Structure 1
Amino acid sequence: MRDPDPYLAAALRCPSPLAEGFDDAWVAGLWAQDGVERGSVKAFLATHQRIPGLGNGVLQDICWQARVHPRRAVLTLDAAARAGLIAAARSTLAAMVAGGGRDTERDLRGAPVDVPGRCGVRVRWLPGVRRGRGDGRWPYRTRAITLVAMTGTRRDGLPATRTRRREEILDAALALFDERGIGPVTTNHVAERAGISAGNLYYWFSGKPAILRALVERWQAESTFPVALAGGDPVAMLRALAHVLGEQAEVTGRYGALARELVPLLRADPDLADVYRTSYEARMAALGTAVAVLVENGLLRPAEPPLDILDMVIGGWVLAELGPGYLQAVGAADRVRAVLVAPLLAQLTDRGRAALEVRA
């Protein structure tokens, strides 16, 4: 009997890059192998079957997504670049798996044929800058290969089924985070709950941090205050503000797991912090404008010095974001709505109380 193919034998000893075993510890071992630091990125990815499933057909796409030149020396990569390279490898392979593999079908004239459910390869030339070989920049007229999922649908947007599947994954993750806490939940758990393979999940999200960022974006989008707060009739503005504060209890309740662990999450993930900060700044601007108009029109009492309007707005924001999670944790979830509206009611003037039909 012949000895097995050495490449096959090596691949069988390694976990799939789409499996849970291909974790941070395993990847750290790959970077630490002899000769890796002295070689190029392409050599790291394509030789010795370090990562099963990688070959010349996908290397360019991986490097392009990671914004790393294939000839760049590994020793010049920092931790962020290495993590980005591995994430690009996983997402590229996941896209191929989700698309049914590489498309090699051609018609009688040799032209590629779009086969629904398969994954094709599109080659394009990109303008670049002439640079030396070792400076890590893309050379002039670099060829980049982009994987294209061929679903038989229009290419100018995602089909509704794809959008729905993404939301199903986020719903599954949110339910698990609420049941078990964010820390213990892995991408494999999320995939199992969503009813898909772990590899298919990586077609949608590069990992758990990406899922968390998407959930925070969705939470903030559902928390957006209506346009009426930024202008218009002051009484309508006051009523809209009171309504939103009451409804915010339900919104934050749906994202209770995120609210309970929000501060540690923001400290651990700078990208997530940027996403959240954008929402924070937009809402501060809208709320600040609304409160100033309500004070000017005699519906709200002004802040007592040394406090100002910004202090009032920030206090309301913190209470709306963190209060529901705290009250749920201490068994007072039934008081969330009243607690969120209480600061607004405390600042009402007589005219404001009349507008909201609040008894003194």
Structure 2
Amino acid sequence: MMKQALLDAAEAVLSEHGGRALTLNAVAERAGVSKGGLLYHFPTKEALVQALVARVIAEFDELIGSFEDGGPGSYTRAYVLATFEILTGEARAHRRWSAITAAATDPELAEPLNEAMGRWHKRPCGEDPDPATGMAVRLAAEGLWEVLSHRPGLYDEAQLADLRTRLLALASG
């Protein structure tokens, strides 16, 4: 439980103040623990960032799994639904994801995220009614994620809802 609270504190520091503000002292202060208490769980800043990256990967995998229904195009639809949940859900978690990926600028720290991205995008599209369309839909969702990372308010709720509907229709064939 303490590890999760420390990760929550690190995410808050990143979201509110950016990557440069992510220091062990700032995280310990935000979490209300001593630096030694933080170091017990995360002996280095790199270990903390690795844990943040692992948590967002697991969270996205879990979201995809929760939306898969097993029908044709199921994985691509689940990918779109998970993406929109993160982009437009109550928590608007894309800001957190953006901050965490920005913190993982070291290639070694970013490698698990790169591997997950490869897994998410290279999953065989054979279950899609049209594999090329399935790939294009996933890439469009990924592109929207990237755009909203830089300009969160670019599209209003109605535009995002329409885009979600269109991507899901494409994924269903």
TM-score by length of structure 1 reads: 0.40
**Higher RCO structure, 1 or 2 (CA under 8 Å, sep 6+):** 2
User: For the Cα contact (< 8 Å) 1:191–1:197, is it kept in 2?
Assistant: yes
* Cα distance, 1:261–1:168 mapped onto 2, change above 3 Å: closer
User: For the Cα contact (< 8 Å) 2:73–2:171, is it kept in 1?
Assistant: no
Aligned-residue sequence identity (percent) comes to: 27
Structure with larger Rg: 1
User: For the Cα contact (< 8 Å) 1:170–1:215, is it kept in 2?
Assistant: yes
Report which of the two has the higher share of helix. Answer: 2
1:314 is the counterpart of 2:139: yes
Q: Counterparts of 1:248-263 in structure 2 under 5 Å?
A: 248-249=86-87, 250=89, 253-259=92-98, 262=101
User: For the Cα contact (< 8 Å) 2:10–2:27, is it kept in 1?
Assistant: yes
Q: Counterparts of 1:281-320 in structure 2 under 5 Å?
A: 281-286=118-123, 288-289=124-125, 292-296=126-130, 302-303=132-133, 310-320=135-145
Equivalent-residue separation in structure 1 for 2:96 and 2:41 (angstroms): 22
**What runs of 5+ residues in structure 2 fail to find an aligned partner?**
none
Aligned residues: 169
Equivalent-residue separation in structure 2 for 1:258 and 1:222 (angstroms): 11
1:49-71 per-residue CA deviation (whole Å, 9 max, x = no partner) reads: xxxxxxxxxxxxxxxxxxxxxxx
* Cα distance, 1:185–1:253 mapped onto 2, change above 3 Å: same
SS of corresponding position for 1:206: coil
Shift of 1:324: 3.4
Shift of 1:238: 6.6
Q: Counterparts of 1:227-246 in structure 2 under 5 Å?
A: 229=68, 232-234=70-72, 240-246=78-84
* Cα distance, 1:274–1:252 mapped onto 2, change above 3 Å: farther
SS of corresponding position for 1:253: coil
TM-score by length of structure 2 reads: 0.74
Equivalent-residue separation in structure 2 for 1:196 and 1:237 (angstroms): 41
**What runs of 5+ residues in structure 1 fail to find an aligned partner?**
1-163, 304-308, 353-360
* Cα distance, 1:220–1:295 mapped onto 2, change above 3 Å: same
Shift of 1:203: 1.0
The residue number in structure 2 matching 1:160 is none
The residue number in structure 2 matching 1:165 is 2
Amino acid at match of 1:317: E
1:344 is the counterpart of 2:162: no
Equivalent-residue separation in structure 2 for 1:180 and 1:213 (angstroms): 19
User: For the Cα contact (< 8 Å) 1:182–1:257, is it kept in 2?
Assistant: no
Amino acid at match of 2:13: L
The residue number in structure 1 matching 2:148 is 324
Amino acid at match of 1:259: S
The residue number in structure 2 matching 1:191 is 28
Amino acid at match of 1:344: L
For the aligned residue pairs, the C-alpha RMSD in angstroms reads 3.5
1:271-315 per-residue CA deviation (whole Å, 9 max, x = no partner) reads: 2121112211221233x43xx42324xxx8x55xxxxx6455334
Equivalent-residue separation in structure 2 for 1:280 and 1:348 (angstroms): 19
Report which of the two has the higher share of strand. Answer: 1
Structure 1 moving runs of 4+ over 6 Å: none
User: For the Cα contact (< 8 Å) 2:23–2:45, is it kept in 1?
Assistant: yes
Shift of 1:317: 2.6
1:214-236 per-residue CA deviation (whole Å, 9 max, x = no partner) reads: 1121111111121875x832276
